[in-house]
């Protein structure tokens, strides 16, 4: 885990015998809630060289990472169910491994690329 996401939790706030591990994603541009209708897609697109985007699907516990300069798309192939996605965009110097460390700790599977569901 890089120092970019690893942060010390203040000792003065810790009570008990254990440790607290704190990870932080900084320089977030925006967090979006997207409800993608059945049979609807977000066309393939890229982000500029400095911006990454993470698509998080809470009900499946999946995270899809699009690193700076890469392309991705989303297809909701359901005939009747919308798909709810949280999109997080940012500009910090975070590696794919950092995203894995961050989201696996929250119980998510982490993948690279597009969503076809």
pLDDT computed for residue 10 by the predictor: 86
Contact present, 50 and 88 (Cβ < 8 Å): no
Q: What is the pLDDT of residues 21-72, one digit of tens each?
A: 888 888 999 999 999 999 999 999 998 889 999 999 999 999 999 999 999 9
Name the CATH superfamily, with its identifier, for domain 27-116: Jelly Rolls (2.60.120.10)
pLDDT of residue 4 exceeding 80, the answer is no
Per-domain residue ranges of the chain: 27-116
Output the pTM of the full model.
Answer: 0.86
pLDDT tens for residues 59-91? 999 999 999 999 999 999 999 999 999 999 999
DSSP string, 93-114: ---HHHHHHHHHTTT-EEEES-
């Amino acid at each position: 885990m890089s120092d970019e996401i690893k942060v010390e939790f203040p000792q003065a706030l810790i009570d008990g015998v254990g440790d607290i591990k704190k990870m932080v994603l900084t320089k977030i541009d925006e967090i979006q809630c997207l409800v993608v209708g059945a049979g609807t897609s977000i066309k393939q697109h890229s982000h500029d060289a400095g911006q990454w985007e993470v698509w998080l699907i809470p009900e499946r516990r999946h995270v899809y990472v699009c690193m700076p300069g890469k392309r991705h798309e989303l297809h909701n192939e359901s005939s009747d169910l919308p798909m709810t996605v949280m999109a997080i965009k940012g500009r910090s110097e975070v590696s794919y491994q950092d995203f894995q460390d961050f989201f696996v700790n929250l119980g998510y599977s982490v993948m690279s690329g597009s969503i076809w569901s």
